[in-house]
Structure 1
Amino acid sequence: MEVLRTAILDFCYRRNSSFCPSEVVRKLYPEDWRYFMPDVQEVMMAMYREGLILVTQKDLPVDPNELPKGPVRISRIKTY
């Protein structure tokens, strides 16, 4: 799972916009990315609860205690 955490953070720092969790696993596992969606969602939500990333759905933060249903976006936490 550490590889997924690293990949999510890498996407956050390389991008100026939000991205779909599927983009992470598509980059890492182009042939079998669908099998890794539950893993990336689990890691994404753990990182969100830790305050490392922001997870939104329809531009609103998701509940950190529930796995969201439907498409979500990941972005870096904005610091000023």
Structure 2
Amino acid sequence: MIAAAIRELAQHRGPGKTLCPSEVARALAPDDWRVLMPEVRRTADALAAAGEIVVMQKGKAVSACTARGAIRIGLKAP
């Protein structure tokens, strides 16, 4: 469910654009989205490890699980 939401939102945003993990959580649970954030980050990390997406912080690829602060999720460059 979370992986599908990440893929869908990243595809909708398009190449060269990124989204905040909180957008994924809010899409899935608008009223209680904060509880989903750790799982969204873990799932984003797994998708990045599989080469499906990239997780960025200040323009550099990072691990969603170990990065501190704001991260962005985007499609992997072709």
- TM-score (normalised: structure 1): 0.88
- Name the aligned partner's letter for residue 6 of structure 2: I
Task: Identify the residue that residue 12 of structure 2 maps to in structure 1.
Answer: 14
Instruction: Give the 3-state SS of the residue equivalent to 1:54 in structure 2.
Output: strand
Alignment of 1:45-60 (within 5 A): 45-60=45-60
Deviations 1:30-67 (A, max 9, x none): 000000001101101011111110000011111x4952
Distance 1:54 1:32, change over 3 A: same
Between the aligned residues of both structures, percent identity stands at 36
Instruction: Give the 3-state SS of the residue equivalent to 1:41 in structure 2.
Output: helix
RMSD of equivalent CA atoms = 1.4
Instruction: Give the 3-state SS of the residue equivalent to 2:56 in structure 1.
Output: strand
Regions of 4+ moved over 6 Å: none
Unmatched tracts of structure 1, length 5 or more: none
2:5/2:24 contact within 8 Å kept: yes
Unmatched tracts of structure 2, length 5 or more: none
